[in-house]
C-alpha cells in the first residue's frame, strides 16, 4: 500500500518561518515500522498519521527516532489538513494516551492540549542537564526555578537571565539524547520570561533532532508551569494569555499564543498560523 504525505508549516510568523511537519491522512495506519520509516524519510521533527475513528480521528506521531505521545506543531498542521479536506471547523482527536481537539479557521489553527502541570526538579537531575547544556547556576534566572513540565510529554525547563543567554546555549547532543531517553524527557527548554512573553528554544535530541523551531506541546507544558508558579495575570473571567517566540536563532521565526485558565491541571489552548500544503505530496 502506498501513502501520501503532505508538508505543512505551523506557527509561521506573518506567513514566514514556521516548523515543518508531515501529515498523512490514511484509511488505515501503516504498521509501526513503516510509520517510523516514513517519518525518517520526511526528515521533520514529527510526522503525524490520522485515520477516521468514531466521531473524530485516531492520531499517532512519529519523530525520525521513535513514536511521540503528543506533538503540538504537527497537531496544528493536521488541523489545517483536515480543514482543507472537510472545511473549517473543530476536529476531535484520540491520541495514544489522551483525547484532545484541534480547530482551524482560515490560516489559524488551535489545539486544546492534554492537562498541563509541573513539578520541581531534583538537584542531581538538574546538575546533569546543566553540564550537558554547558550552563552553571549563575546562568539561571533568579525569579523562576527550573522544573519538569508536562502536557502530554515531559519537558525540562531551564529559565535563564536573558534572551541573549538563551541564544548562546549549545549542548552535547549524544550525552543529551542518552540522558533524555533514560529520564523520559522529550525536550530541553532554555527560556526567558518577561511578563506575558516567553522567548524559548526546544532542544530535541531525544527525537534525533538537534533543535525544533517551535513546539506547541512544550508551549502548553510551559504555560502550565508558569501557572503553577503564580506568575500569570488573569482577566476577570480567570484566563491568561501568553505569547511565545521561537526559531529566531535558527532563521525560522515562529510565533505561538496560549490561552489558559487559572485552574491547575487543566488544558491549554495553543494557537498559530499554518501554511500548506507546501509543494506536491510525497508518495511512499
pLDDT the model gives residue 35: 97
Mean pLDDT of 174-181: 97
Mean pLDDT of 127-147: 97
Mean pLDDT of 212-221: 96
- Please state the domain extents for the chain: 4-113+273-283, 117-270
pLDDT the model gives residue 162: 96
Mean pLDDT of 63-85: 97
Prior bond to 277 cis, omega within 30?
yes
3.40.640.10, 3.40.50.1000, 3.10.310.10, 3.40.50.300: CATH of 117-270: 3.10.310.10
Whether residue 55 is predicted with pLDDT greater than 90 in this model: the reply is: no
One fold for both 4-113+273-283 and 117-270?
A: yes
pLDDT 10s digits, 224-233: 999 999 999 9
pLDDT the model gives residue 183: 96
CATH class of 4-113+273-283: alpha beta
Query: DSSP letter string over 24-83?
Result: EE-SSPPPHHHHHHHHHHH-SS-EEEEEEETTEEEEEEE-SSSEES--HHHHHHHHHHHH
Share of the chain above pLDDT 70, in %: 100
pTM of the shown model: 0.95
Residue with cell string 542518552: 178
Q: How many residues does the chain have?
A: 284
Whether residue 2 is predicted with pLDDT greater than 90 in this model: the reply is: no
Amino acid at each position: 500500500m502506498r501513502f501520501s504525505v503532505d508538508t505543512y508549516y505551523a506557527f509561521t510568523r506573518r506567513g514566514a518561518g514556521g516548523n515543518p511537519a508531515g501529515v498523512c491522512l490514511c484509511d488505515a495506519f501503516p504498521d509501526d515500522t513503516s510509520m517510523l520509516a516514513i517519518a525518517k524519510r520526511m526528515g521533520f521533527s514529527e510526522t503525524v498519521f490520522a485515520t477516521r475513528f468514531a466521531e473524530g480521528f485516531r492520531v499517532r506521531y512519529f519523530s525520525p527516532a521513535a513514536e511521540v505521545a503528543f506533538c503540538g506543531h504537527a497537531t496544528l498542521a493536521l488541523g489545517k489538513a483536515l480543514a482543507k479536506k472537510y472545511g473549517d471547523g473543530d476536529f476531535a482527536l484520540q491520541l495514544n494516551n489522551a483525547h484532545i481537539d484541534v480547530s482551524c479557521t482560515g490560516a489559524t489553527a488551535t489545539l486544546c492540549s492534554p492537562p498541563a502541570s509541573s513539578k520541581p526538579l531534583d538537584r542531581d537531575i538538574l546538575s546533569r542537564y546543566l553540564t550537558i547544556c554547558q550552563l552553571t547556576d549563575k546562568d539561571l534566572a533568579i525569579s523562576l526555578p527550573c522544573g519538569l513540565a508536562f502536557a502530554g510529554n515531559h519537558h525540562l525547563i531551564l529559565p535563564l537571565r536573558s534572551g541573549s543567554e538563551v541564544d548562546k546555549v549549545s549542548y552535547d547532543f549524544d550525552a543529551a539524547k542518552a540522558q533524555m531517553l533514560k529520564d523520559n524527557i522529550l525536550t530541553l527548554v532554555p527560556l526567558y520570561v518577561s511578563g506575558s512573553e516567553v522567548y524559548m528554544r526546544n532542544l530535541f535530541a531525544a527525537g534525533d533532532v538537534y533543535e525544533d523551531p517551535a513546539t506547541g506541546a512544550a508551549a502548553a507544558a510551559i504555560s502550565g508551569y508558569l501557572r503553577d508558579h503564580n506568575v500569570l495575570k488573569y482577566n476577570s473571567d480567570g484566563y491568561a494569555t501568553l505569547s511565545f517566540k521561537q526559531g529566531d536563532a535558527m532563521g525560522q521565526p515562529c510565533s505561538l499564543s496560549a490561552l489558559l485558565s487559572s485552574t491547575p491541571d487543566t488544558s491549554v489552548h495553543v494557537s498559530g498560523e499554518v501554511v500548506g500544503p507546501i509543494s506536491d505530496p510525497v508518495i511512499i
